[in-house]
Every structure is written in C-alpha cells, then in structure tokens.
Amino acid sequence: MIEATYYDLKQKAGLSPSLATQVARELGRKIVSQSYEPGSLIEDEAALAHHYNVSRSVVRDAVKILVGKNLLEVRRGIGTRVNPREIWGLLDDDVLAWSQAAPPDPVTLRKLLEVRQTFEPIAARWAAERGTSENHDEIVRAMEGMANNEDSLEEFLISDARFHRAILRATGNEFLVALEGLVFTGLLSILKLTNLNAQDNAASVPLHRHVCDAILARDGAMAESEMQTLLGDADRRLAERLASMEQAGNKEIEPGLSGNGRVGSKS
C-alpha cells in the first residue's frame, strides 16, 4: 500500500492504532480525497459512532485529532465543518500519507511537481558543492537500488525516493531536508501513474544517473541542469498519462473502508 510506503520512507509508524486514530485516519482520507468537500459539514457524533461502531467519545477524540491538523473546525450549534484546503496542515505527515489513498487529482499532482521543480534543482547543485563523501555514497547506493530494481515498481519507487532524500540531506540545509515528505508524496503519487512497467523504470534510470554523476563530479551547475531535465521529463510523462486517462474516460474508484466500514466495537 502506497500510504504505508510513505510512512516507511519517513521512518515513522503514523498515528498509533487506537480506535480514535483509526476513525481519524478514515475521516482524514475522506477529507483529503474530497469525499467531504471543503466547507461541508460531516455527520454528527451519533451518526459517526453508529457508522464506525464506536462510542461517541471515540468519535470526539478522532475529531480533535483532525482539528489539530486544521482539517476540521467545530462550531457549537452548527456542527463540524471541513476547512478550506489552503489552511490544512498540508505538510503534516499524516495528511501527506492520506493523500496517497485519494484518487489522482491532476491539479494537485501538477502543483506538487511545480514545488519540486522550484527547490530540487538548487538542492542538486548544493549537494554537488557541499555534500560529504558519505552523502555522495548514500546517493550512489540509492542510484544502484534503482538500477537493480527496474522490474519491481515498489522497490524501484523506494530507491527513487531515497535518491531524492539523499540529495536533500547532502545540501547540509535542514530546512530542505524537512521538505522530504513533500518530495515523497510527489514521487509516490506520480510514479504510480507514470511508471507502469519495467520499461518505464528503465527509461528514467539514465536521467537519475546523469544527476548522480554531476554531483559526484562536484559540478554544481551541471547537477542543477540535470535535475531540471529529470523533473522536466517527469512533467512530460505525467501530462501524457493524464491526457491518456482523460481520453479513455478513466475513473478511479475512491478508496474506502472494507466491509461495512466498522473499525471497532462500541465501548
């Protein structure tokens, strides 16, 4: 599951598996996928408690978790409303992970790629100019992981994410490193659409290798240029895939709860 892959890359388990956090996760997925539209009211405590087969206090705690991530707002006498997307905690790890369960949204995917195109080329330059030998070794290991796992989408994707993370770490700038979750989300969301087979993976390996070689040569300008080329290729492939899906009338099924959606027994 792509959502679990995100947590693995971040080296964290996500929300602890209490009933409240399970309900928060299911509601959070629905909000992020816009099954609940911004500005809309979600069901009241009693209805949610019945749907998820939990107590009202569990629902109340789940809502508090989502309020803390700015996904929801509770107003006395009105209800619990979904906040506008622009005030969500968009860089929160759980929000980023939950986005992996949402159907692909072309606008969001392009925005993620735009952000990556803004800072990853300069990160490649700084990785070349500032990175230690240990940093560069980490980039090489990730590069080799991509080359050795072209026939496995999951392993290739993980190695690809580690490649970009290693570059951020090699900059020596902790603020850039803090953006790794956004990079992971962009990669996971886009590669699951554009890299459908070993041939797709193999085609992207040389582009990553050019970035790696420039960094190892400590050629900052070349590393920046090669990263621009790599992300430009990702942009092109994403546009082609989205156009193909639109032409075919592809409709992604919204990920939902299995069975009857119940997560526990009433307490």
Residue ranges of domains in the chain, CATH in brackets: 2-95 (1.10.10.10), 104-247 (1.20.120.530)
Asked whether the predicted pLDDT for residue 37 surpasses 60, the reply is yes
Picking from 40-54, 92-106, 212-226, which range would have the lowest pLDDT averaged per residue? 92-106
- Average pLDDT of the chain, as a whole number: 89
pLDDT in tens, 207-250: 999 999 999 999 999 999 999 999 999 999 999 988 888 888 75
The pLDDT of residue 263 is 57
Q: Is the pTM of this model over 0.95?
A: no
> Strand, helix or coil at 75?
strand
Question: What is the DSSP track for 8-27?
Answer: HHHT---S---HHHHHHHHH
End-to-end CA distance of the chain: 30
pLDDT at 210: 98
Tell me which residue of 226, 150, 224, 227 sits closest to 191, measured CA to CA. Answer: 150
Q: Give the model's pLDDT for residue 171.
A: 98
What pLDDT score does 14 carry? 58
Q: Quick one: DSSP state of residue 72?
A: E
Confidence check: pLDDT of 8 > 90 = no
Q: Choose the most confident range, by mean pLDDT, from 73-77, 153-157, 169-173, 248-252.
A: 169-173
What are the tokens at 205?
């390996």
- CA dist., res. 160 & res. 147, Å (int): 10
| Partners of 82 in beta bridges | 72
CA 24 to chain centre: 18
Highest mean pLDDT: which range of 13-22, 94-103, 116-125, 148-157: 116-125
pLDDT at position 116, please? 95
**What percent of the chain has a predicted confidence (pLDDT) above 70?**
91
Report the pLDDT value the prediction gives residue 265, as an integer from 0 to 100: 46
130, pLDDT greater than 80 = yes
Supply the pLDDT for residue 254: 36
Find the mean pLDDT for residues 191-214: 92
What is the model's pLDDT at position 5? 86
Angle at 205 between CA 138 and CA 170, to 5 degrees: 25
CB 100 within 8 A of CB 3: yes
